Structure formats: C-alpha cells, structure tokens
Amino acid sequence: MSAERPLHFLLATIGSAGDVHPFVGLGQTLRRRGHRVSIVTGGYFAPLIERAGLEFIELFPAEQYHEMLANPDIWHPTRGPKTIFQLGIAPMVRKVYELIAAHYVRGQTVVGASSLAMGALFAEEHLGVPTASIHLQPVMMRSMICPPKISGMQTQTWLPRALIRAQYWMADRLFVDRWVGADFHTLRSELGLPPVKRILDRWCHAPRLTIGMFPAWFAPPQPDWPPQVRLTGFPLYDENDVTPLDEDLEQFLAAGTPPIAFTPGSAMTFGQQFFAAAVDACRRLGRRGLLLTRHTEQIPADLPPEVRHCPFAPFTKLLPRCAALVNHGGIGTMSQAFAAGVPQVVMPMSHDQPDNIERAERLGVAAALYPGRFRGDRLAAALRSLLESPDVAKACRDVAARIAGSTALDDTAELLEGLSPSERRG
C-alpha cells in the first residue's frame, strides 16, 4: 500500500454496467491495498457491489434506473446527450453532494467521481474534499489540436482551430449550460459558490487530479489538455471474479466453432432490430452466434439452433473463445475485445460511441456500421471482411499484446492514494 495510512474512498458513479464495473474493480483494488471503500451509485447495482465485497451507498433506487432505460431518447445521436443531462446529471448533483458531505471525514476521506457524478466537484469546492475526476472515455478530453469526434460537430484535425473552438463555445452556451438545469445552479447558490458556465470545457475536470482510464496509445495526450490529467489504462473489470459462465453457455461454446458475440450494451432496451440483424448475419455467414442481453423481450422468437441467447457473461472469460464481437461502441465493451484480440463491428449511436469506434478503426481492429445501415446483409459483409483479413488479425494481436499485463487499476489506485486529505481546492 502506497498511502501512509488507510483511507476511506468514496467512489461515485452514474450510468450503466459499463460505468459501474470500472469503479467496482477499482474499489476491489483499493481494498486489497488496505483501504475502506464505498461505492455510491444506483440501487440496481447493489447486489454486484455487495458480492464484490464492497460497501454500497444508494444514490437512487433500482426502479429509477429502469425508468431511465425505458427512455428511447437516451440513444438518439442528438437528443441523447440532453437526455443524459436531464435524467442522469442535473437531478443527481444535489444527491451526490449530500451523500459525500454525509460520509466525509476530514483527513480520512478521498473521492473518485465519474464524469456524470458532478456533485462531487461541488463537495470538493465547498468542503475541501480531496477529489479526482475519473473519465473512462477520451471524448471527455477536449482539444483544439486533435479533437474527439462528437455527434453534430465538425472536429476534423484539418479544420482551423478557431472554428473548432467556436463550435465548442456554441455547444456549451446554447445547449449544455441550459441542460444542467436549475438544480445545478440553485445548489451552487445555496452553498455560496460562484456561478459556473461551460461546465464541459474545464470545470468538469477536478483541478487537483483528473484520471483518464484509457491508454495513451488509444488517445494520445494533447498539449492543450488540462495539466492535471494522468492516463492509466483500460480497467477491464467485468464481474469475472463473482459471476461464472453459465453451464449451458459452457456447453454451447465447447460444442462447435467459436461463435460471433452480439451485444447492444447492458442498458439498451430497444435492441430488437440489432438482434434480428445479428441472427440474419449468422445465417448468411453460416456462423454460430451468441446474443447477449438481460432484456429478453428483444430476442427474436424461435432462434435457429446455431444461435443462442445468454443474459450475461464476463467478457474476459467469453471473448477469447469467440471469433468476433458486434457491439454498440461503449468503451468498456470495446476494450474487452481489444484485450481478447478479437475484431469488432460497432453500431455507434450517441455519446462517446462515435469517437471510440473512430479510434478503433485507426488501430485496424474494427469497422463501423451506423444504425441506418445496420441490416443482416451489411453486417454479414462487414464481419466477413474483418474475419478474412490477415491484416486485421495481426492488428488485433498487436493491440491485445499492448494490453497484456496492464496495471491500470493499481496505477489508478496509487494516484488516488496520492491525494492529500488535508488540502482544499484552489
């Protein structure tokens, strides 16, 4: 353990399994290093957190999580970000702040907060809680030199920097500043904190320490990133220590050639067309398929014998036994495929997904197939091209080798241990 004494880490995260899994893995790492760890998140994830041996603090009930998933606008390329602000950020700012304030003990408590858990930044600013922002996606790191890909914006590197800067300014002032809503500004006023604008420009990065949980070869640091940013690597936690492979799945994997795995993400409840295209593509390719979702109403009736459905499987155990992965472009899912060395077809919808697939395409390990073109025939063609390419196979091996032996979780834990509980913000 690098810290001089045991600390209490409050890890706050909002979102789906892809947002929660990294914090569970980080929490287990901090606990192994001798610390007390509490995860602050939605009640839906309480059973997982307790199985993982960590303390759970409920941010909102499980029913509210299901209500969020039932909103189709979450996945819309332009309405999606607004919906996330209105459902996942603005209403949670006060709750995150109050829970941190209630559990904060000066000199003993350190906070690690996900991109959406912005109430943690209020607690740091008002109470002096030592806090690190933990961003899982490179899209959170704005740059005029090498900007991330963002839906609705033109961010090509050859564009004049003044034009990129103007687009960010307009997005902030015309949209984001309004999306945060009255809850955000009212709480700041109540706490005696000054107004803040353009929260996604610099304010969303904790000033003492901001951690990017992705490697530099995936998103090279830029000179105009905030100076407190440190990169550690993909966390790659996926419940593999507490959730075994289903016995029926084990039998299916052992009974034939490696299947193609398909998932539109754990939070997707509108994946009927995705899975229909998956079954059609398997039929066209003569390949076995595995459909992954806990939302069984999305699965086509009367699956052919070569295609199976499974609610969930830890990717670290599953993907090395698969031929390819078709997914939505969430960074957690994609990084697991990188580690397993399997090619990917990605159907990006919104949020960080377009940026993630663009970076994966540059590595030569994936191909994008946007929702409007996501049909069985096109999916089969994209998969065939990837699976038959020696160059893609080599690129997948090279990327997997880069990840092998990663110490991302320990490196992140060490950075968090380095936060001094006695110092205040700014």
Mean pLDDT of 278-296: 97
423 pLDDT tier (thresholds 50, 70, 90): very low
Assess whether 205 and 316 both reside in one domain: no
Residue that has been written with the tokens 């990837």 in this structure: 386
- Give the Cα separation of 226 and 159 in Å (integer): 22
Strands ordered across the beta sheet of 131-135: 55-60, 36-42, 8-12, 109-114, 131-135, 209-212, 229-231
- Give the Cα separation of 168 and 155 in Å (integer): 10
Residue 392 pLDDT:
98
- Is residue 395, in this structure, part of any structural domain at all? yes
Position 202 pLDDT exceeds 50: yes
- Is residue 1, in this structure, part of any structural domain at all? no
Assess whether 304 and 227 both reside in one domain: no
Residue 88 pLDDT:
80
- Is residue 242, in this structure, part of any structural domain at all? no
**Mean of all residue pLDDT scores within the chain:** 94
- Is residue 422, in this structure, part of any structural domain at all? no
Assess whether 67 and 136 both reside in one domain: yes
Assess whether 195 and 55 both reside in one domain: yes
Report how far apart the first and last C-alpha atoms of the chain are (Å, whole number).
28
Assess whether 175 and 254 both reside in one domain: no
Residue 424 CA: distances (Å) to CA of 48, 128, 202: 33, 4, 18
b/e per residue 146-163 (b: at least 16 CB within 10 A): bbbbbbeeebeeeeeeee
Assess whether 273 and 143 both reside in one domain: no
Half-sphere exposure at residue 160, Cβ-oriented, CA atoms within 13 angstroms: 3
b/e per residue 301-319 (b: at least 16 CB within 10 A): eeeeebbbbbebbbbbbbb
Assess whether 48 and 187 both reside in one domain: yes
pLDDT in tens, 400-421: 999 999 999 999 999 999 997 7
Assess whether 205 and 251 both reside in one domain: no
Query: Do residues 154 and 127 make contact, with C-beta atoms less than 8 angstroms apart?
Result: no
- Give the Cα separation of 180 and 166 in Å (integer): 20
- Is residue 45, in this structure, part of any structural domain at all? yes
Contacts of 310 (CB under 8 A, 6+ apart): 246, 248, 249, 290, 291, 292
Is pTM beyond 0.85? Reply is: yes
Encoded amino acid at 398, one letter: D
Position 74 pLDDT exceeds 90: no
pLDDT in tens, 204-235: 999 999 999 999 999 999 999 999 999 999 99
Cα pseudo-dihedral 23, 28, 30, 36, rounded to 10: 100
- Is residue 196, in this structure, part of any structural domain at all? yes
- Angle at CA of residue 410, ends 404 and 414, nearest 5°: 145
- Is residue 277, in this structure, part of any structural domain at all? yes
Position 127 pLDDT exceeds 60: yes
Residue 424 pLDDT:
42
Residue 3 pLDDT:
58
Assess whether 280 and 410 both reside in one domain: no
Assess whether 286 and 179 both reside in one domain: no
Helix (H) or strand (E) holding 274: helix 272-285
Q: DSSP readout, 353-398?
A: HHHHHHHHHHHTSEEE--GGG--HHHHHHHHHHHHT-HHHHHHHHH
CATH of the domain at 278: 3.40.50.2000
Query: Do residues 374 and 274 make contact, with C-beta atoms less than 8 angstroms apart?
Result: yes
Mean pLDDT of 261-276: 90
User: What is the sign of the dihedral through the CA atoms of 127, 130, 136 and 137?
Assistant: positive
Position 2 pLDDT exceeds 70: no
The token duo for 61 is 């009930």
For 189, the domain range is 8-236+406-417
Task: Assign residue 215 a region (left: φ > 0; alpha: ψ between -120 and 50; beta: otherwise).
Answer: beta
Position 388 pLDDT exceeds 50: yes
- Give the Cα separation of 138 and 248 in Å (integer): 37
Residues above pLDDT 70, as percent of the chain: 98
Q: What's phi and psi for 226, nearest 5 deg?
A: -55, 140
Burial status of residue 283 (CB atoms within 10 A of its CB: 0-12, 13-18, 19 or more) = middle
Assess whether 219 and 299 both reside in one domain: no
Query: Do residues 252 and 289 make contact, with C-beta atoms less than 8 angstroms apart?
Result: no
pLDDT in tens, 7-44: 999 999 999 999 999 999 999 999 999 999 999 999 99
Most distant pair of Cα atoms in the chain: their distance: 64
Query: Do residues 23 and 38 make contact, with C-beta atoms less than 8 angstroms apart?
Result: no
Give the number of domains in the chain: 2
Return the SS3 of 258: coil
- Is residue 411, in this structure, part of any structural domain at all? yes
Assess whether 38 and 149 both reside in one domain: yes
